[in-house]
Amino acid sequence: MDTNQYLEMFLEESKEHLQACNEHLLELEKNPEDLAIVNEVFRSAHTLKGMSATMGYEDIADLTHKMENVLDAIRNSKISVTTEILDIVFKAVDYLEEMVMDIEAGGTGKKDVQELVSTLNQIESGQSIIAASELETAASTMAIEPRKQEIPALHYDDYEKTVINQSQEQGFHAYEITVTLREDCLLKAARVFMVFEILEKSGEIVKSKPSVEQLENEDFDEVFTVVLITKEEASSLEAKVMKVSEVDRVDIHPVTGVSLPKGQSPSESMDDSAVSAAPKENRKAEAAPQKGRRAVNAHNANKTIRVNIDRLDILMNLFEELVIDRGRLQSIASELHNPDLNETVERMTRVSGDLQNIILNMRMIPVETVFNRFPKMVRQLARDLDKKINLEIIGAETELDRTVIDEIGDPLVHLIRNALDHGIESPAERLAKGKPEEGTVTLRAYHSGNHVFIELEDDGAGIDKDRVLQKALERGVVTEEMAATLTDRQIAELILSSGFSTAEKITDVSGRGVGLDVVKSTIESLGGYITIDSKEGQGSLFQVQLPLTLSIISVMLVNLDKDIYAIPLSSIIETAIIQTSDILNAHNQKVIDFRGSIVPLVNLKDIFEMEGAKEEEELQSVVIVRKGDRMAGLIVDSFIGQQEIVLKSLGNYLQSVFAISGATILGNGQVALIVDCNALIK
């Protein structure tokens, strides 16, 4: 079988199952007595084992099989769940993740897991030392005794008895066929399906033990029994079933001792026409749960489709070109004043607007794809730091554009590590302060307008502002004069400066002064910003604001001489026309009094080194923009209006142009530069 065509599906599903294992193992640590969770982990591991064996990745299948043995021992109450055992199982999942990533990178998925396998074997066997002799006896008995003894005798209801009796009267044989699969069988459900397929060609299946649904879910050991009505001989059936790979043995016995209830004859219970149809109908009735289940699964599967992300990117690029042409058409229509053309363009604008929403929604991914990896990371870090920490995740279903999702993971890792190392105190310190010894870190996400907010809050020590200011002065991040004017929030935000760290010594977790400056630069490159609110002794709140999407944005177009510039609407508070006489000077900086706040003014012509500033005119057009809690007024020549534009990068040659984040092509074919308000305010 050529497995290459299934490789992408295998990788995607393997990652999903490993993620499910991680989540359920974390739950299991909190509820060690809940065997339902163990079953969930077991199911994910079992599916992964079957998939990897089918794809030919034996190392993954073998390691998963050993992990399964430990889980099986837990759910059979041979082993009790401890943190130490879970550490080893987590390690096994980590190894499996590494092997899957290796396959994705074009490798073979091989890894030296001998030591881990021997540890898993020790856990599996070493925990049952008390009853070692009993277990050995049981194991030897199981090896000698045929597995079919585990299946209890079949019990038939009146309907089944009637079918069997009438079939025998018409010359059919009724057999109980007990099939034993090999103990190392990896795909039990597939083997059951193959056995059923062979038997259904030879006759009609009346009953199975366990039920069809249990067999389909692999909810049985290695043995199952099928009742078949056929005209074939037992030896012929045995030979056919034994041809199925991984079948260990087949035992066939005629059905005997099945009698109808007293006073009822076969002819009274069913007429002849019903007799011939009975086995088939009954088989359908028996198989109904299976068919119904499959129908439901098929229905659900058809509701979603996996699409390569590259295709979505191509689709987005094509649509961006369409948006540019739409703007051009609108421009032409407004010049020609043709009613038919205007009507067509309006309709096209509405349809393309709907299409734009659909495409943007297709690219939206829940932030849980990023959040999912944090509980396991927090658990490990808490153990390394010898702290007790509870991570709460709120709003994981909040959706963000894929381009933002790809970038936001690393900044959040740095923020969480910082909260665990610097924020949450040790259990002893917390108890001394009258706090519960377990610290709480809350990660929440929510939508607000055209933005997504991601907040990380902890109930730890908060930021020691005096210490931060002292370090900032030592490192030359701020001067003495600046330090005197800083607010508490501005002092707290000094920890985002490059090379800044308050750690006394360098550890694996922190201390090198890299991390939070990366957080700040990454978030700002995404068009967002980060604010810090901290209360000493009570905790800190880091708030990250991000745009919903980075590709198509709403802007305000403005004139500077003959050039057109675009200012993102997400940064604008409002536009205003002000009197030149209202402009004041403070510390060599032009400012205005805007609704009771002093707002500095920035003349864009000065910034972009253009000639002819209109300071002599009585009125000035100003765009008030905001970054976090800081504002600025941008002086422009005139406002053009609001428009949706496609954000295009300036390319590799123009990467570091000050205060310009990109460009767009307008309806008339003219290029407009997009102003980076964050850089201007900074």
The catalytic residue positions are 46, 68, 418
DSSP output for 71-140:
HHHHHTTSS---HHHHHHHHHHHHHHHHHHHHHHTTS------HHHHHHHHHHHHHTT-TTHHHHHHHHH
Name the phi and psi angles at 46, rounded to 5: -65, -40
204, burial (CB in 10 Å: exposed 0-12, middle 13-18, buried 19+): buried
Token pair 């000639």 in the structure block, residue: 611
Helices 402-418 & 374-385, crossing angle to 10 degrees?
Answer: 20
Query: Which residue, among 284, 288, 160, 176, has the nearest Cα to 223 in the 3D structure?
Result: 176
Q: Is 297 exposed, middle or buried (0-12, 13-18, 19+ CB in 10 A)?
A: exposed
Q: Which two tokens stand for residue 254?
A: 């005629």
**Residue 538's closest CA among 468, 433, 382, 445?**
433
Q: How far apart are CA 675 and CA 258, in angstroms?
A: 87
- Token pair, residue 563, equals 């050039």
Triad 324, 326, 329: Cα angle to 5°: 115
Q: What is the enclosing helix (H) or strand (E) of 375?
A: helix 374-385
Q: Distance from CA of residue 145 to its chain's centroid?
A: 47
CA distance 554 to 449: 13
- Tokens of residue 679, six digits: 């850089």
Output the CA angle 309-416-500, nearest 5 degrees. Answer: 110
Give phi and psi for 488, each to the nearest 5. -55, -40
The answer to whether 648 touches 662, Cβ cutoff 8 Å, is: yes
Quick one: which H or E segment has residue 209? strand 203-209
Number of neighbours of residue 564 by Cβ within 10 angstroms: 17
User: Among 506, 436, 422, 433, which Cα is nearest to 467's?
Assistant: 422
Look up residue 147 and give its DSSP letter.
G
Starting at the edge strand found earlier in the chain, the sheet holding 660-665 runs 638-646, 552-560, 563-568, 671-675, 660-665
Token readout for 379 is 């658990």
Contact residues for 268 (Cβ-Cβ < 8 A; gap 6+): none
Say if residues 436 and 490 touch (Cβ distance below 8 Å). Answer: no
Q: Are the CB atoms for 616 and 562 separated by under 8 Å? A: no
